[in-house]
Copies of this chain bind each other. A is one copy, B any other.
Amino acid sequence: MPSPRTDDLPAAFRTVMRHVAATVTVVTAAAGREHGMTVTAVSSLSMEPPALLVCINQRTLLHDLMLRGSRFCVNVLAHDQAPVSAAFSGTVAPAERFAVGDWRTDEDGLRFLADGMASLFCRNTATIPYGTHTIFVGEVAEVRRNGVERPLLYQNTQYCRCEPIDAVPA
Q: Which chain A residues have a beta carbon within 8 Å of chain B's beta carbons?
A: 1-6, 9-10, 12-17, 19-23, 41-53, 55, 76, 79, 82, 104, 112, 114, 117-118, 120, 126, 128, 130-133, 135, 137, 140-147, 149-151, 153, 155-156, 158-165, 168
Contact = CB atoms under 8 A, between A and B. Distances in A.
| Copies per complex of this chain | 2
Contact of A16 (B16, B118, B150): B118
A165 B82 CA distance: 9
A163 B163 contact: yes
Given A43-B41, A45-B133, A162-B162, A149 B22 contact: no
Given A3-B146, A145-B6, A156-B149, A130 B13 contact: no
A131 B3 contact: no
Contacts of A19: 76, 117-118, 149-151
A25 to B, nearest CB: 8
A145 to B, nearest CB: 6
A10 to B, nearest CB: 5
B2 A46 contact: no
A95 to B, nearest CB: 23
